[in-house]
A and B are shown apart, each in its own frame.
Chain A
Amino acid sequence: MRLVVNKIVLALSILSAVVGLSFLGWILVTLVVKGMTAMSASLFIHDLVDNGLRNLIVGQFVLAGLASLVGIPLGMVAGIYLREYGNGSRYAEFIRDLSDIMMSAPSIVIGAFVYAVAVKPFDGPSGFAGAFALAIMMIPIVINTTDSMLSLVPKELREAGIALGASKYKVIFDIVIRAAKVGIMTGILLSFARIIGETAPLLFTSETSNYFTLDLTSSFSSMTVSIYNLANEPEESARDLAWAASLVLTALVLIINLTGRYLTRNKHK
């Protein structure tokens, strides 16, 4: 009897794993098939007005890149504070918890916040507002990874540096950061991958544009927002374009993710 129950439960577990994985496989297959049929080289040299994706890809990178420019240094320095200066203190614990909670804050609410402070008081949606929203999404993620990567650096390394007479600042930059370099790089790549696929914070902050633009003070091309708009359109051609854009986006996210993983893997060997 026990053995029968065991068999049944294990079978159920395997079944549910198969069901779950086949759903996810279904999505991937759909994405690749639909994306590939709509894919062509001309997509990459035309803008959305001419049924291309060039401006969207560039726009999404500019938004995420700008967000990283603010989010990465800020998040890293804050992570350094949590682990190196404030470690163990109540304040650092408090900030660490807050940052963890912020990491799961609903992204649409971040978008609404940025709308209230950076869109409404100025003249409408802008690339800056979009990048600002993405930076807010990014900071807690960078803090979290920096913090946990620094925690892996052995205490003895720091003590050795201090024993040699180095200042704390020197120890952090010349020893701790170097030791945790690869891990931090991975963390940064993963957080970049995370924000480049965000739609909700951009919906009413950067909105999107059909034209190639580098002007950050007005509506800015965003791939994700355009995917949302295109998929809502009734024409088959718009949807095909949305699928192609989705495939490009997913491929980007997965490549960045895999690169990050590959880096840490080499480290362990």
Chain B
Amino acid sequence: MLEKLFQKISLGSASFVFVLLIGIFTTLFLAAKPAIEEYGLGFLSDPRWNTEVPIAQPQSDADANAAAQTATSTDVAIQADDAEDMGEDEDLMGDDEDLLGDDEEGSESATKTVYGGLVPIVGTILSTLIAMIFAVPIAMGIAVFLSEIAPKNISTPVGIAIELLAAIPSIIFGMWGLFYFAPIIAETFGGYQVSLLTAGLVLGVMILPFMAAITRDSMNTTPDILKESAYALGATKFEVIKDVIFPYSKVGIIGSIILSLGRALGETMAVAFLIGAVYQLPEKITDPTISIPVAMAVNFGEAAGLGESALFYLGLILFVFSFALISFAKFYFLKRNKG
């Protein structure tokens, strides 16, 4: 009796993961649906965000503000109408009001707010890329140092220290970056303190311990006998690393890099302080821009209607993309384990 019951419960809990995943995906999709219907795939290549509404407005007094704004740009006579149209984008109950507005009078001078995802998408990709360019060589260096060069009484404590550093909350990295690292970078490279470059570098520092730890683990899987044979043939340490360890653990190392990449893509807090949070394509590496997680973190509170839906759309893109990326890395690992 209990036996059966427990088996059912455990099966249920395991299935919960699947249900949860489907739930997250469906919820994001449904929440993003208005934006998906409105913009389609063109969202991905549209660099405009919240244009035609120069000042971001909280939803509560959206109507009043919208009215005030349209007054500056359009005829006062159709002011009320426009306010209704603005409501579509700014107000929670936008749909109803929009219908009303359309029914009363065809909205001729509709000032529509456009949301496009290109800037956050580019910002995410570029900041992650900078982080990887910075972190991969250093993480490789640390991993090689820990697994091959350092004597055991150094590599063990340093290894533990690295693993502990990987556990430090990412917001700490963000704060350090903002107050200590960004001024130095801005002085060295010019440009703004909050920029793509500083965000990418701090992101790189943040994923460094994680990447180094898991890369070291995959390097450590190389059987000693292979290394010893190579040394016996007169190979130098570098040749052993290059010709024995790297080829043997190549797949694992690539997997670790992709896992870290996935982590960097979805990272919010280390980047939020540093990327500048402006919807603007960076012309130089030292320009401020925005990434998907930061867009969500900064704008979610004040977004409503289509704006909120567009943020969910961005979240969905991030979710699907990182899901695909991590599955790919897992698949890589699995193939290796079975082979």
Q: Chain A interface (Cβ within 8 Å of chain B)?
A: 2-3, 5-6, 9-10, 12-17, 19-21, 23-24, 26-28, 30-31, 74-75, 77-78, 80-82, 84-86, 92, 94-95, 97-102, 104-113, 115-117, 136, 139-140, 143, 167-169, 172, 190, 193-194, 197-200, 203-204, 224, 227-228, 231-232, 239, 242-243, 246, 249-250, 253-254, 257-258, 261
Enumerate chain A residues within 8 angstroms of B195, measured Cβ to Cβ.
none
B10 touches A81 (CB 8 A): yes
Enumerate chain B residues within 8 angstroms of A26, measured Cβ to Cβ.
176, 180
Total inter-chain residue pairs, C-beta < 8 Å? 244
Indicate whether A12 sits within 8 Å of B14 (C-beta atoms), given known contacts A101-B330, A200-B268, A224-B171.
no
Q: How many Å from the CB of B45 to the closest CB on chain A?
A: 22
Q: Pick the interface stretch among B48-56, B72-80, B99-107, B320-328.
A: B320-328
CB contacts under 8 Å to A, within B127-183, are 137-142, 144-146, 149, 158, 160-162, 164-165, 167-176, 178-180
B24 touches A113 (CB 8 A): yes
Q: How many Å from the CB of A218 to the closest CB on chain B?
A: 16
Q: Pick the interface stretch among B36-44, B109-117, B231-239.
A: B231-239
The complex places the Cα of A57 from the Cα of B11 at a distance, in Å, of 36
Indicate whether A239 sits within 8 Å of B179 (C-beta atoms), given known contacts A20-B208, A78-B13, A169-B3.
yes
Q: How many Å from the CB of A185 to the closest CB on chain B?
A: 17
Indicate whether A101 sits within 8 Å of B323 (C-beta atoms), given known contacts A6-B238, A109-B24.
yes
Contact with A along B287-323 (1 / 0, CB 8 A): 0000001001100110000000001100100110011
B142 touches A17 (CB 8 A): yes
A105 touches B269 (CB 8 A): no
B322 touches A115 (CB 8 A): no
Enumerate chain B residues within 8 angstroms of A5, measured Cβ to Cβ.
236, 238
A109 touches B326 (CB 8 A): no
B326 touches A104 (CB 8 A): yes
Q: Chain B interface (Cβ within 8 Å of chain A)?
A: 2-3, 6-7, 9-11, 13-18, 20-21, 23-24, 27-28, 30-31, 137-142, 144-146, 149, 158, 160-162, 164-165, 167-176, 178-180, 205, 208-209, 212, 236-239, 241, 259, 262-263, 265-269, 272-273, 293, 296-297, 300-301, 311-312, 315, 318-319, 322-323, 326-327, 330, 334
A77 touches B169 (CB 8 A): no
A24 touches B205 (CB 8 A): yes
What are 13 inter-chain pairs, A to B, with CB distance below 8 A? A17-B141, A23-B205, A27-B173, A74-B16, A77-B9, A81-B11, A102-B20, A104-B263, A106-B293, A107-B266, A108-B296, A112-B315, A228-B171
The complex places the Cα of A96 from the Cα of B29 at a distance, in Å, of 24
The complex places the Cα of A138 from the Cα of B80 at a distance, in Å, of 49
Nearest 9 interchain pairs by C-beta: A106-B266, A16-B141, A197-B169, A81-B10, A6-B236, A78-B13, A17-B145, A200-B268, A81-B14
